[in-house]
Every structure is written in structure tokens, then in C-alpha cells.
Amino acid sequence: MANVQTQNRWRRRMAALMLTVMLLVPCMPRALAADLSVDAGFYLKQSRSGTCTLTAAAMMLRRRAYLDGLVDWVDVTENSVRPQAWANGLSHSFTYKAMKVRYATLPADQGAKTQALIDLLAAHPEGIVLYDRSQPHAILLTDYTNGVFYCSDPAGNITAGRVPIDSASVSIAGSSCYWYIAEDQNAASAAAQSTELQLVGVTYPVNVHTGSGLSLNGAVSASSGSTLTEVAVLIEDAAGNTVMSASASLTGAESSWSLQQVDDQIRFGTLPAGSYTYLIIAEDAAGDSLCFASSFTVSDGPTADGCYWSVQDPEGAMLQQEAPAAQEPAAESSLGSQVAAFLEGLGSLF
């Protein structure tokens, strides 16, 4: 009974957000904050034999610096990283420009290894340094998209840029360990400097393989100097019915809240095949509200997700409960029809 009341309360909140055209715009599906699949100059080739791990690490740090909005991300190179990271090989632990890099090993089981890498890439959009001891050689594993791993291989005889891992000189099966950015003070500083309620590194589903789960990552951060008052995660079916929801347990003092706290309550693997909408709704004590909405499917296709950063989105203010500039009549008509369609789906509540 309590769960039904919680769902209805949040659906009424959503209805309130959408009752006017001014508040409908924030709930439009959002695009990726930064498209790292487009090469903006992220990728490098090793300067000499034996420095593949160093070059791969430099590419990883370069992409992270770009995501953090550092204007000098182009200055992250093999030579600039070397003093902090190199000791006759890539150090297992080092810090470069407030980014702490750590080393870890992968499971021996192929299935577990593959899933571990998928999860790592979901949490680390900058990529990870993947190492194959049998070669020995390292690459930057960049992303897992539409069932395919992509990477950048620093070897001179491999095509430059982002390529499918089948085109690289390292395989998933042969890899045994990796380096990753364990802590990033640049991202923390960027979030702290923001004056708006925002989403930080939030993963969202694009397609969920039937029967499979999907980990929730990222956080909701309140406006500067404020605290969060309410946060909820919901899944709606194609008819607009809430089929799954979870609310944050807030004490009243949290300025940031991790979505991992409700990861076990949002069970993507139990959803039948079909079309859905994933929503995150939040409010803070300063009176700011946001509603993030993204459509996804559950099908036999490979699991795929995206990563959203408000602080990196040039249109991030549209997530806020703000009145936009005056719209053209045609745009108002279109938005009005969407309001009507949404309210029709809420008929049982009013």
C-alpha cells in the first residue's frame, strides 16, 4: 500500500511539472552530454617500443580531462604523464592532474570478464587501459556500443582513432588486468562549482537485454549551498503507467545522493519486452526541480546504455524548472498536444 501511495505521489508531481507548457520542456529526452565516439583529438600513438601502457593511460586521462571541462586537456600526452606514471613500466598507482589511477585484475572466466568490462565502461566513459600479458600490449578500451567493444590501439601498425577491438592487437579473451581512474577531483570540483541542481555521471538505459540487469551509477547534486529534499527513479511502460519506482531515503542534510543506493530496487531484468521510459525526478531546498526522461527498449538485442552529465551539457539549464524564452506558435501547439497526451494517461489519478 505504501509503495502505491509513493508511486501516485510522484506521478502527481510529474503531472504538476507537465500541466503547463513552460514545465514540459525539461522532461524532453536528453542527448549525451559529450559524444566521445567522435574523435576530437583524443587518441595518440606510442612514441617508442614498450610505452603502450603509458600512451593508453595518457589517452584515458585526456578523455577524462575533456569530460571534466579542462581547457588544457590537449596538453595531456605521453611525455606529460611520464613523470608521475612511469617507473620502468606503468605504475600500479599514480596521480596526474588530480586524477588518481589504480590497477586491478580481471576475472578468469570469459563471461564474467566480459560483463566486468561492460560495467567498468558504464562507470568510466573515459575508458580503461586494458592489458594483455601474453602479447604484451595495452590499449585504451573506450566503450561498449551495440554489443561491440571499441578501443584505441597505440601501436603504430593499427588504424588510428577509435576502432572495434577486433581490429586491435589485444583481445578481450587475452586481457587479464587494467588501469582505471579511481578518483577524479576535477569532476568533484566542477560539480561543487555548479550553482544548479544537476545529474552527475548518471547512466541510463538505451536497450536492456531481456532478463538482464543494468547497474545504476551516478549521482544527483543539489544547488550550491542547498540540500536535496526528494529524489525518485521511475520506469514507465508505453502506456504511461509506472511499473517500477524507488525513492531516496534522505535525512535532510544530503547535498548529493548516489543512484546506487536504489540499484537493487530498479530491476530491469524483470521487465518484459517492450518500450519504456526511464525517469529521474528531484527537488532541492532551494526550490529547484529537474525531470530527466529517456526512452529505452527491452529486447533480445545487446544491452546498451548512455551516460549523462548536466555540468557538461551546454543545454543543461533545460533540465531545470525554468520558464524558457517565448515559443513560436507552432512549437506551442506541438508541446500542448504532448501535455494533453500525458494528462490523458493520468486520468485514473484525477
Q: Is the pLDDT of residue 87 over 60?
A: yes
Residue 81 shares a structural domain with residue 168: yes
* pLDDT confidence bin for 328, thresholds 50/70/90: very low
Q: What is the mean pLDDT of the chain?
A: 79
- Assigned domain for 203 exists: yes
Task: Read off the DSSP letter of residue 134.
Answer: T
Q: What is the pLDDT of residue 317?
A: 41
Range with the lowest mean pLDDT among 1-5, 211-215, 324-328? Answer: 324-328
Helices 329-345, 2-18: inter-axial angle, 10-degree rounding: 160
The most confident of the ranges 56-60, 96-100, 124-128 is: 56-60
Domain annotation covers residue 40: no
Confidence of residue 10 (pLDDT cuts 50, 70, 90): low
- In this predicted structure, what is the pLDDT of residue 273? 95
Q: H or E stretch including 84?
A: helix 78-85
pLDDT mean over 76-101: 92
Which of 134, 157, 186 terminates a domain? The answer is: 186
The reply to whether 282 and 207 lie within a common domain is yes
Write out the E strands in 30-127: 93-96, 99-105
Which one is predicted more confidently, 64 or 192?
Answer: 64
Residue 246 placed within a domain: yes
Strand 242-247 relative to strand 198-200, pairing: unpaired
Q: Give the global pTM.
A: 0.52
**Helix%, strand%, coil% for the chain, nearest 5:** 30, 30, 40
Mean pLDDT of 191-213: 80
State which of 152, 186, 220 marks the end of a domain.
186
User: pLDDT category, 343, cuts 50, 70, 90?
Assistant: very low
Say yes or no: 160 and 264 in one domain.
no
Same domain, 23 and 65: no
Last residue of a domain, one of 186, 207, 241: 186
Burial of 53 (0-12, 13-18, 19+ CB in 10 A): buried
Over 60: is that where the pLDDT of 318 sits? no
Q: What are phi and psi of 229, to 5 degrees?
A: -110, -35
Q: Provide the pLDDT for residue 70.
A: 82
Find the mean pLDDT for residues 127-149. Answer: 93
Q: CATH no. for residue 242?
A: 2.60.40.2550
Sign of the dihedral through C-alpha 319, 324, 328, 330: positive
Amino acid at 342: F
Look at residue 39 and tell me if it is in a domain. Answer: no
Domain that holds residue 111: 52-186
147's CB contacts (< 8 A; 6+ apart) are 301, 302, 304
pLDDT at position 218, please?
82
282 vs 187, 279, 312, CA distance in Å? 21, 10, 19
Select from 7, 6, 15, 9 the least CA-distant residue to 345.
15
User: Who has greater pLDDT, 350 or 40?
Assistant: 40
Q: Whose CA is closest to 59, among 78, 72, 82?
A: 78
Pairing state of beta strands 256-258 and 99-105? unpaired
Q: Is the pLDDT of residue 54 over 70?
A: yes
pLDDT given for residue 11 in this prediction: 53
Please give the residue that has the higher pLDDT: either 122 or 194: 122
Say what percent of the chain tops pLDDT 70. Answer: 75
Q: Do 260 and 137 belong together in one domain?
A: no
Do 224 and 138 fall into the same domain? no
Sign (positive or negative) of CA dihedral 171, 177, 178, 182: positive
Q: Decide if 42 is inside a domain.
A: no
Please indicate whether residue 5 or residue 324 has the higher confidence score (pLDDT). Answer: 5
* Helices and strands counted in the chain (H then E): 6, 16
CATH of the domain at 166: 3.90.70
Are the C-beta atoms of residues 231 and 250 closer than 8 Å to each other? yes
pLDDT value for 190: 59
Is the per-residue pLDDT at 101 higher than 70?
Answer: yes
Q: How many domains does the chain have?
A: 2
Query: Beta-carbon neighbour count of residue 254 at 10 Å?
Result: 19
109-123 per-position pLDDT tens digit: 999 999 999 989 888
Interval 13-46: pLDDT, tens:
554 444 322 333 333 333 333 456 667 788 999 9
Mind listing the pLDDT tens digit for each residue in 163-177?
999 999 999 999 999
**DSSP H or E segment with residue 63:** helix 52-67
Q: Which pLDDT does position 154 carry in this prediction?
A: 95
